[in-house]
Structure 1
Amino acid sequence: MGRRWQLERRRDHYYRLAKLEKYRSRASYKLKQLNQRYGLLRRGDVVVDLGAAPGGWMQVALEEVGEAGFVLGVDLQRIKEFPNKNAVTIVADITDPSVVEKISERIPRPADVIISDASPLISGVWDVDQARSVELVRSALRIAEEVLAPGGKFLAKVFQGALMEDLLKQVKEKFEFVKVSKPSASRKGSAEVYVIGKGFRHSR
Protein backbone atom coordinates (compact mmCIF):
# COMPACT_ATOMS: atom_id res chain seq x y z
CA MET A 1 0.00 0.00 0.00
CA GLY A 2 1.24 3.49 -0.84
CA ARG A 3 2.07 6.29 1.53
CA ARG A 4 -1.01 8.27 0.49
CA TRP A 5 -3.28 5.32 1.36
CA GLN A 6 -1.59 5.01 4.76
CA LEU A 7 -2.15 8.71 5.48
CA GLU A 8 -5.80 8.54 4.44
CA ARG A 9 -6.33 5.50 6.64
CA ARG A 10 -4.87 7.27 9.68
CA ARG A 11 -7.23 10.20 9.08
CA ASP A 12 -10.22 7.89 8.72
CA HIS A 13 -12.76 8.30 11.54
CA TYR A 14 -13.63 4.61 11.87
CA TYR A 15 -9.99 3.51 11.67
CA ARG A 16 -9.14 5.82 14.57
CA LEU A 17 -12.24 4.78 16.49
CA ALA A 18 -11.36 1.10 16.07
CA LYS A 19 -7.90 1.76 17.52
CA LEU A 20 -9.45 3.66 20.43
CA GLU A 21 -12.10 1.03 21.19
CA LYS A 22 -9.71 -1.89 20.54
CA TYR A 23 -11.50 -3.44 17.59
CA ARG A 24 -9.38 -5.42 15.19
CA SER A 25 -10.85 -3.70 12.15
CA ARG A 26 -12.77 -0.55 11.20
CA ALA A 27 -15.21 -3.00 9.57
CA SER A 28 -16.56 -3.71 13.06
CA TYR A 29 -18.62 -0.55 12.74
CA LYS A 30 -20.26 -1.76 9.55
CA LEU A 31 -21.63 -4.77 11.41
CA LYS A 32 -22.62 -2.62 14.38
CA GLN A 33 -24.61 -0.28 12.13
CA LEU A 34 -26.26 -3.06 10.13
CA ASN A 35 -27.15 -4.95 13.29
CA GLN A 36 -28.67 -1.85 14.83
CA ARG A 37 -30.79 -1.29 11.73
CA TYR A 38 -31.87 -4.86 11.01
CA GLY A 39 -31.65 -6.71 14.35
CA LEU A 40 -29.45 -9.53 13.11
CA LEU A 41 -27.73 -10.66 16.31
CA ARG A 42 -29.36 -11.65 19.60
CA ARG A 43 -28.28 -13.02 22.97
CA GLY A 44 -27.62 -16.74 22.80
CA ASP A 45 -27.27 -16.93 19.00
CA VAL A 46 -24.94 -19.30 17.21
CA VAL A 47 -23.10 -17.22 14.58
CA VAL A 48 -20.85 -18.33 11.72
CA ASP A 49 -18.55 -15.59 10.41
CA LEU A 50 -17.20 -16.37 6.94
CA GLY A 51 -14.04 -14.61 5.82
CA ALA A 52 -13.59 -13.54 9.41
CA ALA A 53 -9.94 -12.39 9.55
CA PRO A 54 -8.71 -10.36 11.34
CA GLY A 55 -11.71 -10.83 13.66
CA GLY A 56 -13.43 -7.43 13.85
CA TRP A 57 -16.86 -8.86 13.06
CA MET A 58 -16.30 -11.71 15.49
CA GLN A 59 -15.68 -9.16 18.26
CA VAL A 60 -19.02 -7.46 17.59
CA ALA A 61 -20.83 -10.79 17.33
CA LEU A 62 -19.37 -11.95 20.64
CA GLU A 63 -20.56 -8.75 22.31
CA GLU A 64 -24.08 -9.25 20.98
CA VAL A 65 -24.56 -12.98 21.61
CA GLY A 66 -23.06 -12.90 25.11
CA GLU A 67 -21.73 -15.88 27.02
CA ALA A 68 -24.77 -17.98 26.14
CA GLY A 69 -24.01 -17.65 22.42
CA PHE A 70 -21.30 -19.08 20.19
CA VAL A 71 -19.25 -17.57 17.35
CA LEU A 72 -17.26 -19.54 14.76
CA GLY A 73 -14.85 -17.65 12.50
CA VAL A 74 -13.70 -19.14 9.19
CA ASP A 75 -10.93 -17.76 6.99
CA LEU A 76 -8.08 -18.76 4.71
CA GLN A 77 -5.80 -16.88 7.10
CA ARG A 78 -5.25 -17.90 10.69
CA ILE A 79 -7.27 -15.63 13.01
CA LYS A 80 -5.68 -14.57 16.26
CA GLU A 81 -7.43 -16.53 19.00
CA PHE A 82 -9.95 -14.89 21.32
CA PRO A 83 -9.93 -15.40 25.10
CA ASN A 84 -13.68 -16.14 25.00
CA LYS A 85 -14.53 -19.80 25.54
CA ASN A 86 -17.46 -19.44 23.12
CA ALA A 87 -15.27 -18.26 20.21
CA VAL A 88 -13.67 -20.77 17.83
CA THR A 89 -11.70 -20.17 14.63
CA ILE A 90 -10.79 -22.50 11.80
CA VAL A 91 -8.57 -22.12 8.72
CA ALA A 92 -10.63 -23.14 5.70
CA ASP A 93 -11.72 -22.03 2.23
CA ILE A 94 -15.39 -21.00 2.16
CA THR A 95 -15.57 -21.85 -1.56
CA ASP A 96 -14.51 -25.47 -0.90
CA PRO A 97 -17.55 -27.79 -0.46
CA SER A 98 -15.74 -29.63 2.34
CA VAL A 99 -15.98 -26.52 4.54
CA VAL A 100 -19.60 -27.40 5.38
CA GLU A 101 -18.52 -30.50 7.28
CA LYS A 102 -15.78 -28.57 9.09
CA ILE A 103 -18.28 -25.92 10.19
CA SER A 104 -20.91 -28.47 11.22
CA GLU A 105 -18.36 -30.24 13.41
CA ARG A 106 -17.54 -27.08 15.34
CA ILE A 107 -20.91 -25.42 15.98
CA PRO A 108 -23.05 -26.67 18.88
CA ARG A 109 -26.29 -26.62 16.85
CA PRO A 110 -27.58 -25.18 13.55
CA ALA A 111 -26.56 -21.53 13.18
CA ASP A 112 -28.96 -18.68 13.85
CA VAL A 113 -26.95 -16.22 11.77
CA ILE A 114 -24.37 -16.40 8.98
CA ILE A 115 -22.34 -13.26 8.34
CA SER A 116 -19.69 -12.62 5.71
CA ASP A 117 -17.47 -9.63 5.05
CA ALA A 118 -15.33 -11.68 2.68
CA SER A 119 -13.62 -9.92 -0.21
CA PRO A 120 -11.96 -11.43 -3.27
CA LEU A 121 -8.38 -10.75 -4.22
CA ILE A 122 -8.66 -7.52 -6.19
CA SER A 123 -7.46 -7.79 -9.78
CA GLY A 124 -8.27 -4.23 -10.81
CA VAL A 125 -10.57 -5.49 -13.57
CA TRP A 126 -14.00 -4.52 -12.32
CA ASP A 127 -16.08 -7.24 -14.04
CA VAL A 128 -13.71 -9.89 -12.73
CA ASP A 129 -13.70 -8.49 -9.19
CA GLN A 130 -17.49 -8.22 -9.07
CA ALA A 131 -17.91 -11.76 -10.38
CA ARG A 132 -15.53 -13.06 -7.70
CA SER A 133 -17.40 -11.11 -5.03
CA VAL A 134 -20.73 -12.57 -6.15
CA GLU A 135 -19.24 -16.06 -6.11
CA LEU A 136 -18.17 -15.58 -2.49
CA VAL A 137 -21.77 -14.67 -1.59
CA ARG A 138 -23.03 -17.72 -3.43
CA SER A 139 -20.56 -19.84 -1.48
CA ALA A 140 -21.94 -18.33 1.73
CA LEU A 141 -25.47 -19.18 0.57
CA ARG A 142 -24.45 -22.78 -0.12
CA ILE A 143 -23.09 -22.99 3.41
CA ALA A 144 -26.32 -21.46 4.75
CA GLU A 145 -28.36 -24.17 3.04
CA GLU A 146 -26.53 -26.76 5.11
CA VAL A 147 -25.90 -25.16 8.50
CA LEU A 148 -28.46 -22.35 8.98
CA ALA A 149 -31.53 -23.06 11.12
CA PRO A 150 -35.03 -22.46 9.71
CA GLY A 151 -35.92 -18.80 10.17
CA GLY A 152 -32.23 -17.88 10.38
CA LYS A 153 -30.53 -14.69 9.19
CA PHE A 154 -27.89 -13.92 6.60
CA LEU A 155 -25.59 -10.96 5.93
CA ALA A 156 -22.96 -10.76 3.20
CA LYS A 157 -20.89 -8.14 1.45
CA VAL A 158 -20.99 -7.91 -2.33
CA PHE A 159 -19.66 -5.52 -4.96
CA GLN A 160 -22.36 -3.80 -6.98
CA GLY A 161 -22.57 -4.54 -10.69
CA ALA A 162 -24.28 -6.41 -13.48
CA LEU A 163 -24.56 -9.69 -11.58
CA MET A 164 -26.44 -8.20 -8.61
CA GLU A 165 -29.95 -8.83 -10.00
CA ASP A 166 -29.45 -12.56 -10.43
CA LEU A 167 -27.79 -12.83 -7.02
CA LEU A 168 -30.68 -11.08 -5.30
CA LYS A 169 -33.14 -13.44 -6.99
CA GLN A 170 -31.20 -16.35 -5.53
CA VAL A 171 -31.24 -14.81 -2.04
CA LYS A 172 -34.99 -14.09 -2.30
CA GLU A 173 -35.64 -17.76 -3.06
CA LYS A 174 -34.11 -18.66 0.29
CA PHE A 175 -35.24 -15.83 2.60
CA GLU A 176 -38.60 -14.24 3.34
CA PHE A 177 -37.11 -10.75 3.79
CA VAL A 178 -34.27 -9.43 1.62
CA LYS A 179 -32.71 -5.98 1.68
CA VAL A 180 -29.60 -4.32 0.27
CA SER A 181 -27.95 -1.75 2.54
CA LYS A 182 -24.78 0.32 2.75
CA PRO A 183 -23.71 1.39 6.25
CA SER A 184 -22.19 4.81 6.81
CA ALA A 185 -18.97 3.09 7.95
CA SER A 186 -18.36 1.94 4.36
CA ARG A 187 -15.77 4.14 2.73
CA LYS A 188 -16.96 6.87 0.38
CA GLY A 189 -16.66 5.76 -3.20
CA SER A 190 -16.68 2.07 -2.27
CA ALA A 191 -18.87 -0.13 -4.46
CA GLU A 192 -19.56 -2.53 -1.60
CA VAL A 193 -23.08 -3.10 -0.32
CA TYR A 194 -24.50 -5.66 2.08
CA VAL A 195 -27.24 -8.17 1.35
CA ILE A 196 -29.46 -8.95 4.32
CA GLY A 197 -31.71 -12.02 4.45
CA LYS A 198 -34.12 -12.86 7.27
CA GLY A 199 -36.49 -15.78 7.65
CA PHE A 200 -34.48 -18.61 6.08
CA ARG A 201 -36.64 -21.08 4.16
CA HIS A 202 -35.14 -24.46 4.97
CA SER A 203 -35.52 -26.61 1.85
CA ARG A 204 -34.35 -29.97 3.17
Structure 2
Amino acid sequence: MSNIFFLRPPRRKATLEQLSIKYFSISAPKEKISSSRDWYLRHSKDEFVKKSKTDNYRARSAYKLLELQDKYRIIAPGYNVVECGAAPGAWTQVISQILGVKGRLVACDLLSFEPVEDAVILPNTDFTLPNNQLKILSHFENEKIHAVLSDMAPNITGNKSLDQDASLILVYSVLKFALQHTAKDGSLLVKLFNSPNTNRFLNDLKKFYRKVNIVKPASSRKESSEIYVLATNFAKA
Protein backbone atom coordinates (compact mmCIF):
# COMPACT_ATOMS: atom_id res chain seq x y z
CA MET A 1 0.00 0.00 0.00
CA SER A 2 1.31 3.47 -0.83
CA ASN A 3 2.17 5.83 1.99
CA ILE A 4 -0.80 7.79 3.22
CA PHE A 5 -1.17 10.28 6.01
CA PHE A 6 -4.50 9.42 7.60
CA LEU A 7 -2.87 7.68 10.56
CA ARG A 8 -1.29 10.94 11.72
CA PRO A 9 -3.35 12.94 14.23
CA PRO A 10 -3.98 16.64 13.53
CA ARG A 11 -1.13 18.85 14.72
CA ARG A 12 -3.42 21.41 16.31
CA LYS A 13 -3.26 21.53 20.09
CA ALA A 14 -6.61 20.09 20.99
CA THR A 15 -7.79 17.58 23.54
CA LEU A 16 -9.41 14.32 22.55
CA GLU A 17 -12.61 15.56 24.15
CA GLN A 18 -12.61 18.60 21.85
CA LEU A 19 -12.12 16.42 18.79
CA SER A 20 -14.70 13.84 19.83
CA ILE A 21 -17.09 12.83 17.09
CA LYS A 22 -19.65 11.64 19.61
CA TYR A 23 -22.90 13.54 19.77
CA PHE A 24 -23.29 15.82 22.76
CA SER A 25 -25.47 18.73 23.82
CA ILE A 26 -24.64 22.13 25.25
CA SER A 27 -26.80 24.97 26.46
CA ALA A 28 -27.35 27.61 23.78
CA PRO A 29 -26.69 31.31 24.43
CA LYS A 30 -29.45 33.77 23.64
CA GLU A 31 -27.90 34.88 20.35
CA LYS A 32 -28.01 31.25 19.21
CA ILE A 33 -31.77 31.18 19.77
CA SER A 34 -32.24 34.06 17.33
CA SER A 35 -29.97 32.31 14.84
CA SER A 36 -31.98 29.10 15.18
CA ARG A 37 -35.20 31.00 14.58
CA ASP A 38 -33.73 32.53 11.41
CA TRP A 39 -32.61 29.08 10.27
CA TYR A 40 -36.11 27.67 10.79
CA LEU A 41 -37.71 30.43 8.74
CA ARG A 42 -35.18 29.91 5.96
CA HIS A 43 -35.63 26.14 6.15
CA SER A 44 -39.43 26.32 5.92
CA LYS A 45 -39.19 28.38 2.72
CA ASP A 46 -36.50 26.21 1.12
CA GLU A 47 -37.59 24.83 -2.28
CA PHE A 48 -35.86 21.49 -1.67
CA VAL A 49 -37.55 21.09 1.71
CA LYS A 50 -40.93 21.61 0.05
CA LYS A 51 -40.03 19.26 -2.80
CA SER A 52 -38.88 16.54 -0.40
CA LYS A 53 -42.31 16.53 1.23
CA THR A 54 -44.01 16.24 -2.16
CA ASP A 55 -41.68 13.44 -3.28
CA ASN A 56 -41.85 11.62 0.08
CA TYR A 57 -38.15 11.91 0.84
CA ARG A 58 -37.20 12.26 4.47
CA ALA A 59 -34.91 15.26 3.94
CA ARG A 60 -33.76 17.76 1.34
CA SER A 61 -30.39 15.99 1.25
CA ALA A 62 -31.95 13.41 -1.09
CA TYR A 63 -31.55 15.90 -3.94
CA LYS A 64 -27.82 16.22 -3.37
CA LEU A 65 -27.37 12.53 -4.07
CA LEU A 66 -29.92 12.48 -6.89
CA GLU A 67 -28.01 15.27 -8.66
CA LEU A 68 -24.65 13.56 -8.21
CA GLN A 69 -26.05 10.22 -9.30
CA ASP A 70 -27.57 11.77 -12.43
CA LYS A 71 -24.22 13.33 -13.37
CA TYR A 72 -21.71 10.68 -12.28
CA ARG A 73 -23.63 7.38 -12.09
CA ILE A 74 -22.05 6.45 -8.76
CA ILE A 75 -24.46 3.57 -8.10
CA ALA A 76 -25.94 0.92 -10.37
CA PRO A 77 -28.56 -1.82 -9.85
CA GLY A 78 -27.11 -4.82 -8.07
CA TYR A 79 -24.27 -2.95 -6.36
CA ASN A 80 -23.05 -3.55 -2.81
CA VAL A 81 -23.18 -0.18 -1.03
CA VAL A 82 -22.21 1.09 2.42
CA GLU A 83 -23.71 4.37 3.61
CA CYS A 84 -22.35 6.23 6.66
CA GLY A 85 -24.20 9.00 8.42
CA ALA A 86 -27.51 7.79 7.04
CA ALA A 87 -30.07 9.39 9.37
CA PRO A 88 -32.82 10.33 8.75
CA GLY A 89 -32.66 8.01 5.74
CA ALA A 90 -33.08 10.28 2.70
CA TRP A 91 -29.94 9.03 0.95
CA THR A 92 -30.90 5.51 2.00
CA GLN A 93 -34.21 5.91 0.18
CA VAL A 94 -32.47 7.11 -2.99
CA ILE A 95 -29.83 4.36 -2.94
CA SER A 96 -32.39 1.64 -2.28
CA GLN A 97 -34.50 2.79 -5.22
CA ILE A 98 -31.49 2.63 -7.54
CA LEU A 99 -30.13 -0.72 -6.34
CA GLY A 100 -33.33 -2.70 -6.66
CA VAL A 101 -33.84 -6.07 -5.00
CA LYS A 102 -30.55 -7.56 -6.23
CA GLY A 103 -28.38 -4.91 -4.62
CA ARG A 104 -27.24 -4.78 -1.01
CA LEU A 105 -27.25 -1.65 1.08
CA VAL A 106 -26.10 -1.31 4.68
CA ALA A 107 -26.71 2.13 6.19
CA CYS A 108 -25.56 3.24 9.65
CA ASP A 109 -25.71 6.29 11.87
CA LEU A 110 -25.07 7.33 15.46
CA LEU A 111 -28.70 8.42 15.63
CA SER A 112 -31.88 6.39 15.41
CA PHE A 113 -33.77 6.37 12.13
CA GLU A 114 -36.68 4.47 10.67
CA PRO A 115 -36.30 1.40 8.43
CA VAL A 116 -36.06 1.79 4.66
CA GLU A 117 -37.36 -0.89 2.32
CA ASP A 118 -34.69 -3.25 0.93
CA ALA A 119 -31.97 -1.75 3.13
CA VAL A 120 -30.21 -3.03 6.24
CA ILE A 121 -30.12 -0.15 8.69
CA LEU A 122 -27.87 0.05 11.74
CA PRO A 123 -29.08 2.90 13.96
CA ASN A 124 -27.16 4.01 17.06
CA THR A 125 -24.00 2.71 15.41
CA ASP A 126 -20.66 4.52 15.44
CA PHE A 127 -19.06 3.74 12.07
CA THR A 128 -15.57 4.58 13.32
CA LEU A 129 -15.51 1.63 15.74
CA PRO A 130 -13.86 -1.52 14.30
CA ASN A 131 -16.50 -3.85 15.73
CA ASN A 132 -19.24 -1.92 13.98
CA GLN A 133 -17.35 -2.06 10.70
CA LEU A 134 -17.16 -5.84 11.07
CA LYS A 135 -20.91 -5.86 11.65
CA ILE A 136 -21.41 -3.92 8.40
CA LEU A 137 -19.17 -6.29 6.45
CA SER A 138 -21.00 -9.35 7.77
CA HIS A 139 -24.00 -8.41 5.63
CA PHE A 140 -21.99 -8.70 2.40
CA GLU A 141 -20.85 -12.30 2.88
CA ASN A 142 -17.21 -11.59 1.97
CA GLU A 143 -18.14 -9.78 -1.23
CA LYS A 144 -16.38 -6.52 -2.11
CA ILE A 145 -18.19 -3.19 -1.93
CA HIS A 146 -18.86 -1.19 -5.09
CA ALA A 147 -19.54 2.18 -3.48
CA VAL A 148 -18.94 3.73 -0.06
CA LEU A 149 -20.91 6.90 0.63
CA SER A 150 -20.61 9.14 3.67
CA ASP A 151 -22.75 12.11 4.63
CA MET A 152 -21.29 12.09 8.15
CA ALA A 153 -20.50 15.34 9.91
CA PRO A 154 -19.16 15.99 13.42
CA ASN A 155 -21.07 17.89 16.04
CA ILE A 156 -20.50 21.56 15.40
CA THR A 157 -18.60 23.23 18.25
CA GLY A 158 -18.51 26.71 16.74
CA ASN A 159 -14.72 26.56 16.59
CA LYS A 160 -13.98 26.49 12.87
CA SER A 161 -10.58 24.83 13.15
CA LEU A 162 -11.79 22.10 15.51
CA ASP A 163 -14.84 21.41 13.35
CA GLN A 164 -12.67 21.10 10.25
CA ASP A 165 -10.27 18.73 12.00
CA ALA A 166 -13.11 16.58 13.32
CA SER A 167 -14.60 16.40 9.82
CA LEU A 168 -11.23 15.32 8.43
CA ILE A 169 -10.92 12.57 11.04
CA LEU A 170 -14.29 11.21 9.91
CA VAL A 171 -13.47 11.17 6.19
CA TYR A 172 -10.14 9.46 6.81
CA SER A 173 -11.91 6.75 8.81
CA VAL A 174 -14.18 6.19 5.80
CA LEU A 175 -11.24 6.18 3.40
CA LYS A 176 -9.35 3.63 5.47
CA PHE A 177 -12.39 1.35 5.42
CA ALA A 178 -12.92 1.86 1.68
CA LEU A 179 -9.30 1.04 0.81
CA GLN A 180 -9.63 -2.34 2.48
CA HIS A 181 -13.01 -3.39 1.12
CA THR A 182 -13.77 -1.66 -2.19
CA ALA A 183 -14.09 -3.64 -5.42
CA LYS A 184 -11.94 -2.79 -8.44
CA ASP A 185 -13.24 0.36 -10.17
CA GLY A 186 -15.41 1.12 -7.12
CA SER A 187 -16.32 4.60 -5.88
CA LEU A 188 -16.13 6.73 -2.76
CA LEU A 189 -18.27 9.77 -1.99
CA VAL A 190 -17.66 11.74 1.21
CA LYS A 191 -18.77 15.02 2.72
CA LEU A 192 -16.27 17.20 4.51
CA PHE A 193 -15.81 20.76 5.66
CA ASN A 194 -13.53 22.59 3.27
CA SER A 195 -10.26 23.53 4.98
CA PRO A 196 -6.53 24.04 4.38
CA ASN A 197 -6.19 20.24 4.70
CA THR A 198 -8.57 19.48 1.84
CA ASN A 199 -5.76 19.30 -0.73
CA ARG A 200 -3.90 16.81 1.43
CA PHE A 201 -6.96 14.59 1.45
CA LEU A 202 -7.39 14.92 -2.33
CA ASN A 203 -3.75 13.96 -2.90
CA ASP A 204 -4.17 10.89 -0.72
CA LEU A 205 -7.23 9.84 -2.70
CA LYS A 206 -5.35 10.18 -5.98
CA LYS A 207 -2.97 7.47 -4.85
CA PHE A 208 -5.76 4.93 -5.06
CA TYR A 209 -8.53 6.30 -7.30
CA ARG A 210 -8.01 7.31 -10.92
CA LYS A 211 -10.53 10.15 -10.85
CA VAL A 212 -11.03 12.57 -7.94
CA ASN A 213 -13.37 15.57 -8.06
CA ILE A 214 -14.72 18.16 -5.64
CA VAL A 215 -18.46 18.46 -6.20
CA LYS A 216 -21.02 20.78 -4.62
CA PRO A 217 -24.62 19.95 -5.55
CA ALA A 218 -27.03 22.79 -6.28
CA SER A 219 -29.11 21.75 -3.27
CA SER A 220 -26.17 22.38 -0.89
CA ARG A 221 -26.78 25.65 0.87
CA LYS A 222 -24.54 28.40 -0.48
CA GLU A 223 -23.47 29.55 2.97
CA SER A 224 -22.36 26.05 3.98
CA SER A 225 -18.65 25.16 4.01
CA GLU A 226 -19.50 21.55 3.20
CA ILE A 227 -18.19 20.04 0.01
CA TYR A 228 -18.40 16.55 -1.42
CA VAL A 229 -15.43 14.66 -2.79
CA LEU A 230 -16.10 11.95 -5.34
CA ALA A 231 -13.36 9.40 -6.07
CA THR A 232 -14.02 6.83 -8.78
CA ASN A 233 -12.22 3.98 -10.58
CA PHE A 234 -10.58 2.49 -7.52
CA ALA A 235 -7.33 0.79 -8.54
CA LYS A 236 -5.84 -0.95 -5.53
CA ALA A 237 -4.52 -0.28 -2.05
Question: Which runs of no fewer than 5 residues in structure 1 stay unpaired?
Answer: none
Confirm whether residue 105 of structure 1 aligns to residue 138 of structure 2. Answer: yes
Q: What TM-score, normalized to structure 1?
A: 0.94
Confirm whether residue 161 of structure 1 aligns to residue 195 of structure 2. Answer: yes
- Compute the displacement of 1:163 (Å): 0.8
Aligned equivalent of 1:93, options 126, 129, 138: 126
Deviation readout 1:24-55 (Å, 9 max, x if unpaired): 11000000111111110111111110111111
Q: Residue 76 of structure 2 aligns with which residue?
A: 42
Q: Residue 57 of structure 1 aligns with which residue?
A: 91
Q: In 1, distance between residues paired with 2:88 and 2:235?
A: 31
The CA RMSD over aligned residues, in Å, is: 1.3
Deviation readout 1:180-202 (Å, 9 max, x if unpaired): 11010000111111100111123
- Compute the displacement of 1:130 (Å): 0.8
Question: Which runs of no fewer than 5 residues in structure 2 stay unpaired?
Answer: 1-32
Q: What TM-score, normalized to structure 2?
A: 0.81
Which has the larger strand fraction?
1
Give the SS at the match of 1:167: helix
Q: In 2, distance between residues paired with 1:4 and 1:100?
A: 38
Contact 1:100 1:146 in 2 (8 A): no
- Compute the displacement of 1:4 (Å): 1.9
- Compute the displacement of 1:147 (Å): 2.2
Give the SS at the match of 1:77: coil
Residue-pair matches, total: 201
Q: Which has the larger radius of gyration?
A: 2
Structure 1 runs (4+) deviating above 4 angstroms are: none
Q: In 2, distance between residues paired with 1:46 and 1:120?
A: 26
Contact 1:100 1:147 in 2 (8 A): no
2:97 maps to amino acid: E
